[in-house]
Structure 1
Amino acid sequence: MAAEPSGVESAGQKLQFAPFCSALEAGFWHQLTQRKLDDYRLDESPRDIRGYYYNGDPVGLPTRLTLEFSAFDVNGQTPAKCCPAFGTLYNTNTLEAFKSCDKKALLESAAKEIWEAIQSGSCAEDPSALCKFILLTFADLKKYRYFYWFCFPALCFPEAVPFHQPPVALEKSFSSKQIEALQGAYDGLCQENGGTAVPYFLVRYSEEAVLVSLLKNWSSFFKDQKKVTVGVYDPCTLSQHPGWPLRNLLALVACKWGELVDTVEVLCFRDRTLQGSRSIQHSIIFQVKLPQLSVSAGVPKTVGWEKNQRGAMGPRMVNLSECMDPKRLAESSVDLNLKLMRWRLVPSLDLDKVVSTKCLLLGAGTLGCNVARTLMGWGVRHITFVDNATISYSNPVRQPLYEFEDCLGGGKAKAQAAVERLKKIFPGVNAEGHTLSIPMPGHPVNSSEATVAQARRDVAQLEALISSHHVVFLLMDTRESRWLPTVIAASQRKLIVNAALGFDTFVVMRHGLKLQKNAGVDSAPTSAGSTPASECCSSSSSSSSSSAGSMAVHGASLFSNIPGHKLGCYFCNDVVAPGDSTRDRTLDQQCTVSRPGLAMIAGALAVELMVSILQHPEGGYAIASSSDDRMNEPPTSLGLVPHQIRGFLSRFDNVLPASLAFDKCTACSPVVLDHYEREGFEFLSKVFNSSHSFLEDLTGLTLLHQETQAAEIWDMSDDESV
């Protein structure tokens, strides 16, 4: 259909039209299947449906009329920059009824409606009457084979329509000023029409201005002019031929105004976007002399049935037996936006790396729910939740994976309920839930042998989960609950993304990704290919209460150009070890009290940070972007790869600080990792059962505090002696 019609050499003498090529998407057949089973059953009554066509395709594509899953909602929205076309569906119950249906009668009936609308002038008021189509179908729901025949009825003149002036590109007939004026005038007309593309319009122009109007304003717009210009929203891409929608417009002009005009100038309006730049210069313009169309002669001859794939008059068949499973349809639909993003906006986007990433979410609360939804939006298929809480009555309004019924009877386990909801949202997701308590510093586990044994099993299970995932999100309520996964992930060289909330502040950060155990002390991999895909990135967030002051204490003040293996973790900005943060605290101190939108913002940014890291060739070893890099060339197709994103909702501001790893960090410092890797659970049990002084003594924080206090006393003595 994309090729020039036959007889191109004589096309300068006779007007020819590019016929429509039907484009019925799988979603349309899925909807037809559901309606046949649930609503239509054996009812063969005609049904109103809606399609659309587009006038911005590049050269070479056929003139298409598209029907998708929304075709049965005749009052629904038409895609942007597309023109709606309304039609009638005739769905038969048997293949024999489909074959024996009187196609000639259907076409003649549709032609009669169009002709009556032309004679009465109602199609000038409602031009959609000129764009009717017919779709005859039979759905074999046992084998998911669909037979169909598409028709776009077009009235014919009794003789060929000659050119008065052959088609030329608009840029050869209009000046750049006129083209710009035409574009603006048409856009304004569409806005007056509710934002939908206008299929037919009138044009009047001079060297200084271009005016457009609706068909119904013909008399007042043209007055006594003998030469008129009509415009058509033209889906054809051929340089010498208009598309099918022009046919019935010319029939209307010949019937209603043919005696008033000598020639008709036709503007085929084509609106392309190439490499981000809009252009209508490739539109074509020509003049024709219309033969007379006698009203008394009755309905003109009509054509419109589409040819099949072999180029003969006959129906088509599509076999969707392999893709009509609703789960497969949902899977293809989930990926559609991502593919469009790559095709049109970010060609270098590596979607496979994102979709194949296995994400472990520690915490299924407000942050966990929002992170999970954003991960699904990015097409991530493997999501695992870890949480030991149940759903309470305060949760559903803030945590979008839960409902009121989940709170009844003491509440469902969050991890399992979150998995159930994800699978209801998208059955193709591979989701797991683990009700697991994470042992924490300052929370003793030595009260009994059973307690110790359970803690040992919990640690082993957490180690196995972190080992089997690529990215770990720390989304828990307390600081100390983040310590153990930070240590394990640092030891396993896994990516950590951390998000934490204040009342109107948040922090999202990636942990520094430690070098491979066999790598040099000061050398990090220079590409993702030098480390396994599951270990090439890492991110985390430090507590929103961490301050620049605490960073200055251990010399890890803000720097730029820090490579990923030298970045700090969640605990690197703190100079005290984690302990029991919930003991002897009031309700507001035990619960995360924050502005309702904060978790959605932080959760989304945590996922977007992960995706940006995945797109960087060095993954988690990428140099941290800072606020100063916002005006520089971004390191990935998606932009910057910061260490931290600290947000302040009260002033709607974000900053991108970066800080070095702290050699006395209670979680990721070499001494802590060395003890964990050598002693395993025995070392961890000492941390759980001891006060925070154990870790502080081990890492040298205690000595640092003593030296700091001594320096302060010395300074006071100096002051007093003055």
Structure 2
Amino acid sequence: MSTTKSSIVQFTPFSSLVQPPFWHELTRLKIDVLRLSEQTVPARASYTIGRSVTDRETGTEIDLGCHLTLGADAFSQESQQTSNVISCNGTFKNYNTIEEFKAADKTALFNQVADEIWEGIKTTGDSNFLNQFILITFADLKKYKYYYWFAFPAFVAKPAWTIGEPGWQAAEDTLGRDVLASIYSQLHESVKPYFLARPSSSSALEIAPLSDYASFFASVPPSAQLVCFLDPSASVQHPGWPLRNALAYLRVRFLKRGPAQIRVLCWRDSELPIADRPWRSRFGIVEAPADEVRAGTALQSRPAAVGWEKNTQGKLGPRFADLAPMMDPARLADQAVDLNLKLMRWRILPALNLEKVAETRCLLLGAGTLGCYVARTLMGWGVRNITLLDSSTVSFSNPVRQPLFEFTDCLDGGKPKAQCAADALKRIFPGVNAKGVNLSVPMPGHPIPPSGVAQVRADVEKLESLFDSHDAVFLLMDSRESRWLPTVLGKAKGKIVMNAALGFDSYLVMRHGARTSGSTSDSASTSKLGCYYCNDVVAPADSLTDRTLDQMCTVTRPGLAAIASATAVELLVSVLQHPDGVNAPAPPPNFQDDQDESAAYKSVLGVVPHQLRGFLAQFRTMPIVGAAYDRCTGCSEAILQAYEKQGFDVLLRAFNETGYLETLTGLDKLHDEGEAALESVDWDDDEGDM
């Protein structure tokens, strides 16, 4: 034992250094994995050799702190070994409310980890147990504010370890450059948190794990023994926090009857020194009272432990991180817009497939009242790809009814509606991929002059290309005939087609039936579901010419468009959630949801109807199933096969020739048969009799 004047060894405590990517990863973990669970989760942090910088003005050395760092890989199961970086295992626990965070039993959490370290020391002798941490958090994900508190459990030595004069010294002065160079060469490829070193005949030193203390130093005099650790402290007088548990480890396992003196090397050299810079590592001899060490008393029960981190005011308490000011606003929005959707999956709909909704590419034909409301609702469901098509400009009557337009959009003749609406969507949420297409949809009953055929052909090709690149199409136009060509294209290309139409106080929302059924249901095939035209016995014709003002404008109750648009989007999402998708069967008219538990008609959001007719005067919605009509001018096989064989030519005839669609589908024969049936009736003119 040394008889020189000694002082108690003081350790530089760990200070948490949380990188911004960690908070992003915590946000993901909370929303997608933990949800409302408060279970503890394994976490990983790291520390490295202590560093200091030189103040350019004063020339003084400034310590950078004894940091334990958490990054984006804190919850990853795969640890990446990096030179001079030590990985630490930890316990993470997130609370759902700030009140629960404040009231948490922190003592119990701390003691649980301290007990695990102590048991590891006593039973396994594994030094990997020595560096552990605790992190508790509360994440306010709406405001991106995080409350957190770290603890780094370390055992209190009683009596304390001391270091005699002259205290901690430069290792280069006491051990020599050759010794340090030998250690550096052996640690360069594989860094260790703790290790032993002794002289070697083949080299300056050889090293071994801390657990080999007894055998490794069996024949080595105390003056040649070195206990080493990678030191995260840069202080010249105080070693880092990891040494604290290492000394407890040695005292419990090896120093009950042995020497009470340990020669400690604080390893702080991550690179070889250059000409004008010395080695940074420190050396000192720490001691413990001989009677305590040799008796080994009171060491079987766990000693007291300390380690809760102080806050920025130097008091024991949690810290606070506000990421909102430093984050990219677009990234903030991208994470926040889907928060409501992900909350649905926590308790209400765990099976909800949000990714499928977000990936659906939606084409909106019409950027008026219906189009604006549909686009907004799609964004609410997390849809990221929206294309709007329209041929008109914003007028002064639009902004109060169409929420994507403003007064300034009407000036100077008005901006093109489709592009203006797309720009508005991107202002609302920069993460949406919104596009506007200025295009007029050709219609039956609206003949194309010879000079305009080339342009119409190009417009049709553009429309076909848009259908090919989208998954779902909304028909949101003003006129009945403008929906004909999209109906044909949607059915021929197997797209989900959603139709919404308005009356004064009534609306229709429907999905067009699929051409062929891929349904797994034993029920009626979805190929029997009709389209918008399946109830007609005439082809769509010109309904726009010679109309009065009230006929040219859609005169409807102001709230009706929002109701119909939201219903159309909700129906689309229900279709997407059904296992059969576009082929989802519709419930029969007599279907009772509270009596029939059949899953064939349901997605995780409920039933998937064919048509919904709403009547605002009675505040009533009626589900309807409409059968496909084999002579339909919009979706019958006669129409589809003619389009697939003849392409634009059959479309041009439909635009130009009155009666062509009736002839193609056989409706003209049906009319003739009806007329013949009426003429064959023997009408009696006697009053009251027939």
Relative to the length of structure 1, the TM-score reads 0.52
Paired residue for 1:698?
664
Distance 1:435 1:58, change over 3 A: closer
Whether the 8 Å contact between 1:505 and 1:647 is mirrored in structure 2 is yes
Distance across 2 between alignment mates of 1:460 and 1:235? 63
- Note the alpha carbon deviations across 1:635-678, whole angstroms, 9 max, x for none: 11101100001000000000111011100000111111111111
2:518 to 511, 516, 524: 524
Shift in Å, 1:308: 3.0
> Match of 1:628, as an amino acid?
N
Worse-matched range after superposition: 336-345 or 311-320: 311-320
Judged with a 3 Å threshold, the aligned counterparts in structure 2 of structure 1 residues 394 and 572 are, in CA distance, closer, same or farther, namely same
Partner of 2:677: 711
Q: Deviations over 1:22-46 (max 9, x none)?
A: 9x9989x99xxxxxxxxxxxxxxxx
Q: Which residue of 1 aligns with 2:446?
A: 443
> Corresponding residue for 1:662?
629
Q: Which residue of 1 aligns with 2:567?
A: 605
Q: Residue 455 of structure 2 corresponds to which residue in structure 1?
A: 454
- Contact 2:324/2:332 (8 A) holds in 1: no
Structure 1 residue 312 displacement after superposition:
4.2
Offset at 1:346? 0.3
| Superposed CA offset, 1:593-652 (max 9, x none) | 100000000000000000000000011111102453332336111011000010000000
In structure 1, what is the equivalent of residue 389 of structure 2? 386
1:405 alignment partner AA: T
Structure 1 residue 566: deviation in Å?
1.5
Preserved contact between residue 36 and residue 346 of structure 2 (Cα < 8 Å): no
* Counterpart pick for 2:616 among 626, 646, 649: 649
**2:451 pairs with 1:472:** no
Alignment correspondent of 1:423: 426
Contact kept, 8 Å, 1:562 with 1:658, in 2: the verdict is no
2:546 corresponding residue in structure 1? 584
Aligned residue pairs: how many? 413
Query: Take 1:321 and 1:502, find their aligned partners in 2: how far apart are those partners?
Result: 46
Q: Does residue 368 in structure 1 map to residue 371 in structure 2?
A: yes
- Structure 1 residues 291-341: Cα deviation after superposition (integer angstroms, max 9, x where no partner): xxxxxxxxxxxxxx9853534434569797999221111010011111001
Decide which of 508, 531, 541 is 1:569's aligned counterpart.
Answer: 531
For residues 696 and 513 of structure 1, the distance between their equivalents in structure 2, rounded to whole angstroms, comes to: 22
Letter aligned with residue 342 of structure 1: R
Q: Which one of 422, 432, 436 corresponds to residue 435 of structure 2?
A: 432
Q: Where do residues 123-162 of structure 1 align in structure 2 (5 Å cutoff)?
A: none
Using the alignment, how far apart are the partners of 1:398 and 1:428 within structure 2?
25
Q: Which runs of 5+ in 1 are unaligned?
A: 1-21, 31-55, 63-142, 145-198, 200-231, 243-304, 516-522, 528-559
1:688 and 2:684 matched: no
Whether contact under 8 Å (1:563, 1:624) holds in the other structure is no
| Residue 57 of structure 1, CA deviation | 6.9
Cα displacement (A) at 1:424? 0.3
> How does 1:501-540 map onto structure 2 within 5 Å?
501-515=502-516, 524-526=518-520
Note if contact 1:490-1:668 (Cα within 8 Å) is conserved in structure 2.
yes
Show the 5 A alignment for 1:87-166: none
1:656 aligns to what SS in structure 2? strand
Decide whether aligned partners of structure 1 residues 236 and 561 sit closer, same or farther in structure 2, where only a CA change above 3 A counts: farther
Letter in 2 for 1:308: F
CA contact (8 A) 1:445 1:688 kept: yes
Give the distance between the partners of 2:400 and 2:149, measured in 1 at CA.
55
Tell me, in whole angstroms, the C-alpha distance in 2 between the residues paired with 1:581 and 1:378.
Answer: 35
Question: Over residues 223-243 of structure 1, what are the superposed CA-to-partner deviations in whole Å (9 max), with x where a residue is unaligned?
Answer: xxxxxxxxx99964669989x
Q: Which moved more, 1:308-317 or 1:385-394?
A: 308-317
**Which blocks of at least 5 consecutive residues in structure 2 are unaligned?**
1-15, 25-34, 42-70, 73-97, 110-146, 153-306, 312-318
Structure 2 letter corresponding to 1:618: D
Q: CA deviation at 1:708?
A: 1.5
Contact persistence 2:509–2:613 (CA under 8 A): yes
Distance 1:436 1:307, change over 3 A: closer
Call closer, same or farther: CA 1:25–1:404 in 2, change over 3 Å.
farther
In 1, the alpha carbon distance for the partners of 2:453 and 2:325 equals 52
Q: Does 1:625 align with 2:587?
A: yes
Q: Secondary structure at the match of 1:455?
A: helix
Once residues 373 and 593 of structure 1 are traced to their aligned partners in structure 2, the CA distance between those partners, rounded to angstroms, is 22
Q: CA deviation at 1:682?
A: 0.8
Contact 2:519 2:585 in 1 (8 A): no
Asked whether the equivalents of residues 58 and 237 of structure 1 are also in contact (C-alpha less than 8 Å), the reply is no
* Structure 2 Cα separation of the partners of residues 578 and 427 of structure 1: 40
What is the Cα deviation at residue 460 of structure 1? 0.2
8 A contact 2:386–2:434 mirrored in 1: yes
Q: Secondary structure at the match of 2:498?
A: strand
Is residue 518–residue 580 contact of structure 2 (8 Å, CA) maintained in 1? no
Matches within 5 A, 1:229-308: 236=103, 307-308=149-150
Identity value in percent: 54
2:334 pairs with 1:334:
no
- How big is the alpha-carbon RMSD for the aligned residues of Structure 1 and Structure 2? 4.0
Q: Label 1:323 to 1:407 Cα distance change in 2 as closer, same or farther (>3 A).
A: same
The letter for the 1-side match of 2:621 is: N
The offset of 1:564, in angstroms, is 2.0
* Structure showing greater Rg: 2
Q: Is the 8 A contact 1:359 1:472 kept in 2?
A: yes
Residues 498 and 509, structure 2, Cα contact 8 Å, conserved in 1? yes
CA gap of 1:719–1:657, structure 2 versus 1, over 3 A, is farther
In structure 2, relative to structure 1, the CA distance for the partners of 1:561 and 1:397 (3 Å cut) is farther
Is 1:673 equivalent to 2:515 in the alignment? no
Amino acid at match of 1:464: S
Could you tell me whether the CA contact under 8 Å between 2:445 and 2:655 is conserved in 1? Answer: yes
Mapped to 1, the partners of 2:308 and 2:108 lie a distance apart of 22
**Residues of 2 paired with 1:368 and 1:61: CA distance?**
47
Q: d(CA) in 2 for partners of 1:306 and 1:574?
A: 66
Three-state SS of the structure 2 residue aligned to 1:308 is strand
> Which secondary structure state, in structure 1, belongs to the residue aligned with residue 507 of structure 2?
strand
Q: Confirm or deny that 1:484 pairs with 2:485.
A: yes
Q: Distance in 2 between matches of 1:306 and 1:590?
A: 62
3-state SS of paired residue (1:614): helix
Check conservation: 1:360, 1:383, Cα contact below 8 A: yes
Q: What residue in structure 2 maps to residue 554 of structure 1? A: none
Amino acid at match of 1:371: V
Residues of 2 paired with 1:371 and 1:488: CA distance? 21
Counterpart CA distance in 2 for 1:625 and 1:578 is: 29
TM-score normalised by L of structure 2: 0.55
Q: Which secondary structure state, in structure 2, belongs to the residue aligned with residue 579 of structure 1? A: coil
Structure 1 SS opposite 2:412: helix
| Residue pair 1:442, 1:688 contacting (<8 A) in 2 also | yes
Find the aligned partners of 2:402 and 2:373 in 1 and give their Cα distance.
Answer: 7
CA–CA distance in structure 2, aligned partners of residues 702 and 463 of structure 1: 29
Give 2:309's aligned amino acid.
M
User: Which digits, 9 at most, give the CA deviation of each residue in 1:92-134, with x for residues without a partner?
Assistant: xxxxxxxxxxxxxxxxxxxxxxxxxxxxxxxxxxxxxxxxxxx
User: Do the aligned partners of 1:358 and 1:471 also contact (CA within 8 Å) in 2?
Assistant: yes
SS in 1 for 2:614: strand
